[in-house]
Structure 1
Amino acid sequence: MTVDALYVYAVVRAATPLPEGAVGVGSPPAELRTVGTGPVTAVVSAAPPKLRARRRDLMAHQNLLTGLAEAGPVLPMRFGAVAPDEDTLRAQLAAAESNHLATLERLAGQVEINVKAMPARDALAALVAGDATVRRLRDEARRRPGYEANVRLGQAVAAALSRRATEAGQQALRGLASMARATATGPDVQGCALNVSFLVARSDTGRFRATAERFAAAHQQHVDLRVAGPLPCYSFVDTRAPAPPAAVGGG
């Protein structure tokens, strides 16, 4: 990584102010500034020579994006996006200007809320009561205890818990989707039956979270519903547009 490399946090409208007190990545924290071309600008800092996903840097990145989103729409970069130099960044911003403006317009007034459906904790008793296959395998393991019987029972329990979480998660998804402008399926997460992000009007976040929490309480024997947000709209950046400013990797 050259000394002129820039760490890129986000693309925003040119008039968007930097959040008061926000700092960049690195040790000591890098000073934030903007690199603009016309109506869009990138929020950047000097790229640290040895960038790693340390908690302090991850939090600095996330807190800056959250602060920027309070002032207007944000096209967020994932942690570790680096442009080789300012000229390259300006050229890429100019080339993608119309796409960036369209995306920022689409995200105006919106936030992302992520919902993960996990198998319910402490739900074994309810599972045994409601699943004939698990009851049968449990009874077989009691009559003839052994490694294979325990493995079969364990696999059946894990599959049933995951199935119940998926079914409850899908039900929650149908109910919550009507409150969102768009949905996006997230990557697979170990132990997670469902991972979905919702594009929600900022003014509706309280109602959305309250609805999700009521569903979670009513179905706690089937699913552990985890709600995160409001978040920057990572999942709703238009992937058909030219890539936001050069992401050539952190050192």
Structure 2
Amino acid sequence: MNAAGTYVYGIVARGHRMPAELRGVGTPQAALEVLPVGETAAVVSAAPVPLRARRRDLLAHQEVLLTLALDGPVLPMRFGMVAPDADAVLEQLETGQERNLRALDRLAGRVEMNVKALPATGALAALVAEEPRIRQLREAAHRHPGYEANVRLGEAVVHTLERRAADAAQEVQPELEALAVARSTGPHVDGTVLNMSFLVDREDVVAFRAAVDRLSAGYRDRVELRVAGPLPCYSFAEPEVATAAAMRTEG
């Protein structure tokens, strides 16, 4: 490892298969190493200098995690986790081994699916038909056109679209939860009314996607649902990963 530190991708069970062709972040892409302690191991590489959140490195980081997850559970680190050196990683693996083993067991055979809900676009006809207040403001703007009338109508449309989308998102959520082992609410994303991740058995991914598509079609006048995944289980692993405490986030 170089003086910049040890870049950590995630934690796996000892003996987890490491594809020989897999490479990490940096230019050229760094060779990966496995640091085992007891029944767990960390997948690491030399930290590139400088470390930046460039698209190719973000994709390389995620590709490592997704590839590893094909052969067993992985506790993923967010992009940019760097330990001072390999010894720091080994020390934290030892300290957090019991928690990490529990987390690995919980994630075995499971993936993360993320669902974002956005206000429906192109649904003005449904909005006018179903929302008396919008209909009144639209008629008023037609009778007495002007800047203020247009502003009132525009603001009411935006607010109502967001409310209808939020209500619809709450209605569809229980059906998605029924297909998942756990759920986690993510940070707010501009333009969305819901950002939620679901821990899903790998064998249920197709059914989960089909449910999102069906619900999105059924509620198309109120909400647009976008699904991403399978993803590394960021939302369901980090609280268990003691190793992260000894690292700094860069990039």
TM-score higher than 0.5? yes
SS in structure 2 of the partner of residue 71 of structure 1: coil
Matched, 1:85 2:85: yes
User: Offset at 1:32?
Assistant: 0.8
User: Offset at 1:249?
Assistant: 2.1
Q: Is the 1:24–1:31 Cα contact (8 Å) retained in structure 2?
A: yes
Over 3 Å counting, the alpha-carbon distance change for 1:97 and 1:164 in structure 2 is: same
Over 3 Å counting, the alpha-carbon distance change for 1:125 and 1:103 in structure 2 is: same
Amino acid in structure 2 at the alignment position of 1:113: M
Counterpart in the other structure of 2:114: 114
User: Offset at 1:126?
Assistant: 1.2
Counterpart in the other structure of 1:191: 191
- Summarize deviations over 1:179-230 as a string: whole Å, max 9, x none: 1111100110001011111111111111111111111111111111101111
Over 3 Å counting, the alpha-carbon distance change for 1:81 and 1:113 in structure 2 is: same
Distance of 1:105 and 1:23 partners within structure 2: 26
User: Offset at 1:139?
Assistant: 1.6
TM-score, normalised by the number of residues in structure 1: 0.95
Distance of 1:21 and 1:152 partners within structure 2: 59
Amino acid in structure 2 at the alignment position of 1:142: H
Counterpart in the other structure of 1:104: 104
Counterpart in the other structure of 1:159: 159
Counterpart in the other structure of 1:37: 37
Amino acid in structure 2 at the alignment position of 1:164: R
Aligned length: 250
User: Offset at 1:166?
Assistant: 1.1
Give 4+ residue runs of structure 1 displaced > 6 Å after superposition.
none
TM-score, normalised by the number of residues in structure 2: 0.95
Percent identity, please. Answer: 52
Distance of 1:66 and 1:31 partners within structure 2: 17
- Summarize deviations over 1:50-72 as a string: whole Å, max 9, x none: 11111100110111110011010
SS in structure 1 of the partner of residue 242 of structure 2: coil
User: Offset at 1:244?
Assistant: 3.1
What's the C-alpha RMSD, in Å, of the aligned pairs?
1.5
SS in structure 2 of the partner of residue 17 of structure 1: coil
Distance of 2:187 and 2:220 partners within structure 1: 24
Amino acid in structure 2 at the alignment position of 1:90: L
SS in structure 1 of the partner of residue 27 of structure 2: coil
Distance of 1:234 and 1:101 partners within structure 2: 16
Matched, 1:200 2:196: no
Counterpart in the other structure of 2:225: 225
Counterpart in the other structure of 1:249: 249
Unaligned runs of 5+ in 1: none
User: Offset at 1:155?
Assistant: 1.2
- Summarize deviations over 1:13-36 as a string: whole Å, max 9, x none: 111112352211011111111112
- Summarize deviations over 1:135-158 as a string: whole Å, max 9, x none: 111122222222222221111111
Counterpart in the other structure of 1:71: 71
Over 3 Å counting, the alpha-carbon distance change for 1:243 and 1:131 in structure 2 is: farther
- Summarize deviations over 1:70-103 as a string: whole Å, max 9, x none: 0101100001000010111111111111110010
Unaligned runs of 5+ in 2: none
